[in-house]
Amino acid sequence: MNLIPADSTLSVAPNSRATPDRPAAKNSDPALKHDPSNPPAAYPAGVASVTLLNNKLTEYLTPSEMKKVKEAYRFSDEMHLGQIRKSGEPYISHPIAVAEICADWKLDAQAIMAALLHDVMEDQDVKKEELIERFGAPVATLVDGLSKLDKIEFQSQIEAQAENFRKMLLAMARDVRVILVKLADRLHNMRTLGFMSPDKKRRIARETMEVYVPIAHRLGLNNIYRELQDLAFSHLYPVRYKTLSKAVKAARGNRREVVSKILDSVKNTLAATGIQAQVYGREKTLYGIYRKMRNKHLSFSQVLDVYGFRIVVDSFANCYVALGTLHALYKPMPGKFKDYIAIPKLNGYQSLHTTLIGPYGTPVEFQIRTTEMHRVAEAGVAAHWLYKDDDASLTDLQQRTHAWLQSLLDIQKQTGDSAEFLEHVKVDLFPDSVYVFTPKSKIIALPRGATVLDFAYTIHTDIGDQAIAARVNHEHAALRAELRNGDIVEIVTAPASRPSPNWLTFVRTGKARSAIRHHLRTINLAESTELGRRLLAQALSAIDIDPLLPEGLVEKLLNESSAKSLDELYADIGVGKRMATLVARHIRGMMESDINSPLPPLVTENGNSKLDPVTIYGNEGSAVQLAQCCLPIPGDGIIGQLKRDQGITVHSTDCETAKRQQTKEPDRWIELAWGADLSRRFDCRIKILVDNEKGVLARVAAEIGESDANITYVGMDDDRDHLMKQLRFTIQVEDRIHLARLMRNVRRIPGVARILRERA
């Protein structure tokens, strides 16, 4: 059955799709131009594309499925009439090209229909209900997952982009076909990106490199991954791309003899061993070469392994036989062998990798795999795209992909907003991994740089929340310890243990970060709510507004802020998700627009509103954290940093770390002041230089105790000439006066040369 209509012509009728209940095209796609007054009469190239798509689909779809695809094509063609891309092609050529890519992956009829229809909701205001009626709920759901959220008003372009990604990724978690169609869509857009303005090229290329390239890699779609990478590279750094491209072309001629000699030698050696194998020479991607030059600070002439070789054999066992044969032919480079067959990559990739010293001393990389491994390596999850309800029938690749997609849903449940969700997902898209073992020898894959705590949260959220320590390779290790390949990890838990805001400074995985933030938001809700109430009251008072807001204004504020209650708004402010000063200005703006609520002029200092310092008592719980870099104590001048989901971090005003961070995010800093009648003690570090003599440590420790201070840490370092010792104490004091009195007492001890307060 042919997709092409009976007249074999894709003619255009200006705005023919406009109806009383559906407006004409709004052309939201920046790649579109619309000129109803002068449309092209016909598009022969479009007919050719449809013919190619038709030929691909008839290879594996049934006649009844082809009929449904044809209906989707006709509907899409009708909806996009009058639209042309900036390349001058009819817009329908884009959905056809996307469907062709999906057909190469042998996706089912529903996915092909979604590819043809993927822009009709976004560009033509077609409702989901209409798609359900015409093509069924599964197709409509796929198209909806691919459509952007154009109808929602967002505070910024970044927020809109984040929410669109969240919608797409959650739809992908429910049906992997969504991301397969989206990657096909992005691939064709990148292939035709040359017609965009330079700014749009860079923006789209950067988005592709940061999100779509890692997703393609994570799903094992290596062909798409490599092409998207090179296309994005060519638009982000066009001069570097052209220069490197010329260098590679020139190197081809110089190295043709070497490549040919290696190919012949490998083929003859494998044949003599009785191994049936296909041997391919392959050129590394330009971006791969560029990344190696950049990371290792090499010139192009120093990158010797521009070419690699791939050997595809007929059986699992022959992979290792071929490896031994190659090692007998050429000497292997030490430390350059990786067995991804025994331990596959996260995306299901399996191969043996080895680097050998070839003719003329040139390093040569070989990849050895079976035919099935090669199919999965090139097509990834698209090689086994169909999801099944029976977990027992899933392939290993499907199980890995299913687990990752399920983790997206887990993160979504714990995440506050779209930007945070996208941040967590990006963290999990790192291509490099480390492989560690549970005590029962189960392999766990984690991003490079992951810590013991990341491992704990990967096993289960409750284990992460209650973790207190760990044993790595049967030795005690801290939660922040970084894991390495082959580590055996065992987590020590305690039911009373709870996550600390400090954990966010060293965890790497999205699941760990979202779980910790979720705990801090929910468990410490009362503390965060009270802090947020104080911050907003202070900000309102500074602009002459009574913190006790009228009921009508509160209701309007909650509607505009999407908060369910005033306490939720306070909690968002308390954890740093919203800025109190911005909320206060928004409230004033609402009051100024209300003619029934006249406001007095602002009282300002030098033209700016002056905020009174927020009072800190030190008993606010985890909503207020004392910075470890400077450990402020009462009597110090203090300033607060509003950190997302961590409340306020208190620094001393002379803290160098605080000064550096203030220049980066000045809007997130507020003035603080210590309250009166503080009922707790505060950590403080001191360093004492003493004579290296017997009993001096005991005398110093005794004097600190006599001065009514508690010691929580003691350390000792040798001075350069070994005649003196440096004693380091972390002590607990009431305030600066208490600390000054203690330091005077310690300074009188015989053998003490110097004492000072230590700042990180």
CATH number of 743's domain: 3.30.70.260
The reply to whether 139 and 161 lie within a common domain is yes
Give the Cα separation of 5 and 44 in Å (integer): 13
Place of tokens 């009431």: 734
The phi and psi torsions of 366 (rounded to 5 degrees) equal: -120, 140
The reply to whether 224 and 267 lie within a common domain is no
Would you state the pLDDT for residue 187?
Answer: 92
Residue 403: its H or E element:
helix 396-414
The reply to whether 211 and 305 lie within a common domain is no
Give the Cα separation of 464 and 163 in Å (integer): 28
Find which of 210-224, 450-464, 543-557 is predicted with most confidence, using mean pLDDT: 450-464
Q: Does the pTM of the predicted model rise above 0.85?
A: no
77 catalytic? Reply is no
Is pLDDT larger for residue 199 or for residue 610? Answer: 199
Domain that holds residue 357: 238-381
Give the number of domains in the chain: 4
**CATH number of the domain residue 341 falls in:** 3.30.460.10
Question: How many percent of the chain have pLDDT more than 90?
Answer: 19
Final residue of a domain: which of 506, 522, 538?
A: 522
Distance of CA 749 to the CA centre of its chain: 55
Would you state the pLDDT for residue 403?
Answer: 62
Mean pLDDT, residues 116-121: 89
Q: Tell me what the pLDDT averaged over the chain comes to.
A: 77
Mean pLDDT, residues 372-397: 58
Q: Is the confidence at residue 579, as pLDDT, over 90?
A: no
Number of H helices, E strands in the chain: 28, 23
The reply to whether 325 and 262 lie within a common domain is yes
Residue 560 covered by a domain: no
The reply to whether 254 and 154 lie within a common domain is no
Catalytic residue among 123, 163, 454, 487: 123
Select from 729, 718, 728, 720 the least CA-distant residue to 692. 718
- Which residue type does 189 have? N
Burial class (CB in 10 A: 0-12, 13-18, 19+), 483: buried
Mean pLDDT, residues 252-267: 77
The reply to whether 38 and 170 lie within a common domain is yes
Q: For residue 442, what are the contacts with CB-CB under 8 A and spacing of at least 6?
A: none
Q: What is the three-class DSSP state of 595?
A: coil
Final residue of a domain: which of 191, 212, 233?
A: 233
Mean pLDDT, residues 83-112: 88
Residue 465 covered by a domain: yes
Residue 489 covered by a domain: yes
Q: Is the confidence at residue 757, as pLDDT, over 50?
A: yes
Residue 310 covered by a domain: yes
Would you state the pLDDT for residue 611?
Answer: 56
Q: How confident is the model at residue 720 (pLDDT cuts 50, 70, 90)?
A: low
The answer to whether the Cα torsion of 445, 446, 448, 449 is positive or negative is negative
Residue 614 covered by a domain: no
Distance of CA 404 to the CA centre of its chain: 13
Residue 496 covered by a domain: yes
Give the Cα separation of 356 and 366 in Å (integer): 8
Give the Cα separation of 421 and 150 in Å (integer): 19
Would you state the pLDDT for residue 516?
Answer: 84
Would you state the pLDDT for residue 474?
Answer: 86
b/e sequence 392-417, b meaning 16+ C-beta within 10 Å: eebeebbebbbebbebbeebbebbbb
- Asked which of 24-33, 175-184, 212-221, 624-633 is least confident by mean pLDDT, the reply is 24-33
The reply to whether 690 and 737 lie within a common domain is yes
Residue 692 covered by a domain: yes
Would you state the pLDDT for residue 401?
Answer: 60
Q: pLDDT tens digits, residue range 280-317?
A: 887 778 888 888 888 777 777 666 566 688 999 989 89
**CATH number of the domain residue 70 falls in:** 1.10.3210.10
Would you state the pLDDT for residue 746?
Answer: 93
**Neighbouring C-alpha atoms within 13 Å toward the C-beta of 463:** 16
Q: Is the confidence at residue 41, as pLDDT, over 60?
A: no
257 catalytic? Reply is no
The reply to whether 254 and 228 lie within a common domain is no
Would you state the pLDDT for residue 386?
Answer: 42
Would you state the pLDDT for residue 95?
Answer: 92
Q: Left (φ > 0), alpha (ψ -120 to 50) or beta: where does 249 sit?
A: alpha
Q: Is the confidence at residue 521, as pLDDT, over 60?
A: yes
Catalytic residue among 29, 89, 100, 122: 122
Residue 387 covered by a domain: no
The reply to whether 339 and 371 lie within a common domain is yes
Mean pLDDT, residues 717-746: 85
Would you state the pLDDT for residue 632?
Answer: 93
- Asked which of 126-140, 387-401, 555-569, 744-758 is least confident by mean pLDDT, the reply is 387-401
Would you state the pLDDT for residue 425?
Answer: 59
Question: How many percent of the chain have pLDDT more than 70?
Answer: 75
Would you state the pLDDT for residue 234?
Answer: 92
The reply to whether 251 and 312 lie within a common domain is yes
Q: For residue 132, what are the contacts with CB-CB under 8 A and spacing of at least 6?
A: 140
Mean pLDDT, residues 245-262: 75
Give the Cα separation of 372 and 267 in Å (integer): 21
Final residue of a domain: which of 507, 522, 537?
A: 522
Q: pLDDT tens digits, residue range 333-379?
A: 888 888 988 888 766 788 999 988 877 777 788 999 998 888 777 76
The reply to whether 228 and 248 lie within a common domain is no
The reply to whether 249 and 348 lie within a common domain is yes
Select from 373, 282, 281, 268 the least CA-distant residue to 320. 373
- Asked which of 1-5, 672-676, 677-681 is least confident by mean pLDDT, the reply is 1-5
Select from 470, 468, 463, 511 the least CA-distant residue to 487. 470
Q: Is the confidence at residue 574, as pLDDT, over 60?
A: yes
Going from the C-alpha of 397 to that of each of 182, 219, 376, the distances in angstroms are 20, 9, 9
**CATH number of the domain residue 474 falls in:** 3.10.20.30
